[in-house]
Every structure is written in C-alpha cells, then in structure tokens.
Chain A
Amino acid sequence: DGGITQSPKYLFRKEGQNVTLSCEQNLNHDAMYWYRQDPGQGLRLIYYSQIVNDFQKGDIAEGYSVSREKKESFPLTVTSAQKNPTAFYLCASSIDRGVGELFFGEGSRLTVL
C-alpha cells in the first residue's frame, strides 16, 4: 500500500538530547513537510522540501533540522536548542508544492522528560 510511514510512534527524550524522527513515503511525491501539532493549536509548518537536496524553513524552524538525501525520506531532528519540544509531529507529502492534497503519516509523539 502506498503511504507515509513515521517512526517511532512514541519517543521519550531527556533534556539536552537530540532525537531524529523518521519519515518515509512510497507515493513518489516530490514535496514533503514536517508539522508540529500542539493541543488547541492548528498545525504549524516546521520545514518543507520540494525536491531532493533542497529544503526550506517553515514558520517554526528554530531548534529543528532536516535533510532530504533521497526522494522517499525526510527525517526531522529535534535538537537540544528547541525550547519546548514535547509535541505531536506530523510528516506529510504532496505531489508537488502547488495546490493539492497533503497526505499525512500517523504521527510521532515526542515527550521530553
């Protein structure tokens, strides 16, 4: 089945540690995105990538980093510089950056202890 796979589903981290969230898609989509979801707030864009080896900051990129070495993969690293990292993280993809449907993964819940 085509889709987006995020892992791990749940992750616990100690303060000061970097963690990397995995996102893989087999939809052959060019564009991929990372969003953060907090209770009572709409999804906020962290980073997006339109093409391999290129990515752009979203609205809340500080404390995060990404890479896009392969079309299928767009991992997100939550660094120790992110002041409030506990959240639900969603990866998405679309055929391209233009108007179109976003396909979401099942999400990764990060908790900082």
Chain B
Amino acid sequence: GESVGLHLPTLSVQEGDNSIINCAYSNSASDYFIWYKQESGKGPQFIIDIRSNMDKRQGQRVTVLLNKTVKHLSLQIAATQPGDSAVYFCAETYGGATNKLIFGTGTLLAVQP
C-alpha cells in the first residue's frame, strides 16, 4: 500500500551547517507533498510544499527537492539554527485531496551549538 517513510529518524548537525532530511514515498500517483515542522508538545507547522509538476521549490532558508524517478523527497535547511531543532515530517497525497494526506513518522533534527 501507499506509505511515506524517512531514512533517518535522528539527524544531529552543528549550528550553521546545512541540514538535509529525506523522505521516500511509494505511490507514484502522489501529486502533492508537504513538509511540516513540529516542536515538542506543539502542533505541526507548515514549512513548504511542492506539486508533482515541479522538481524544486525554495522558501526562506529551506528548499524542497522532488525526485519522481526514485520517489524521493528531501528538505534542505540552510545555515541551521538552534530554533530549527524539531521533528520534521513529510506528507503526500494523491488526487489532490487534503483528507487523503499520508504522513511520515518524522525525523528529529538536533542542532548542536
């Protein structure tokens, strides 16, 4: 069945370095992908999204890359800051329906000062 997974459950980086968080998806029909950030004890916050007709999308200090050939999604965070420490998870949907979103389990990003 469809699934969304993450390669690395925990990622530790030094402050100022770039971070890359990966996500694999199994449904080639998925057409919309979202990255969320969740701080401890709080609700998820939208970071960035990308549609399947795009390979790359940039935001403020973040870039999402989509490789449809290998069904891989990545989130790049430039100049990682202590405030970036959180769990990051991706979500996918097919048919464009928000109620069909499938969420990954998350990667914990730990930023070392």
Residues of A within 8 A of B (CB): 4, 6, 31, 33, 40-45, 48, 56, 58, 90, 92, 94, 96-107, 109
Nearest chain A residue, comparing its CB with the CB of B31: A99
Contact check, A103 vs B96: say whether CB atoms are below 8 A apart. Answer: no
Bound Cα distance A48, B100 (Å): 10
Q: In the complex, which residues of chain B have a beta carbon less than 8 angstroms from the beta carbon of A96?
A: 98
In chain B, residues 77-113, which have Cβ atoms closer than 8 Å to a Cβ of chain A?
A: 89, 91, 93, 96-99, 101-106
Contacts of A48 in B (CB 8 A): 99
Residue pair A43, B103 in contact (C-beta under 8 Å): yes
Q: How many residues of B contact A (CB 8 A)?
A: 24
Q: Given A42-B104, A102-B46, are A97 and B41 neighbors across the interface (CB < 8 Å)?
A: no
Cα A26 to Cα B78 with chains together (Å): 33
The residues of A that contact B18 with a CB separation of less than 8 Å are: none
Annotate B36-49 by CB proximity to A: 1 below 8 A, 0 otherwise: 00000111111001
Could you say which residues of chain B place their CB within 8 Å of the CB of A101? 34, 46, 49
A42 and B106 contact, Cβ closer than 8 Å, known pairs A31-B98, A100-B98: yes
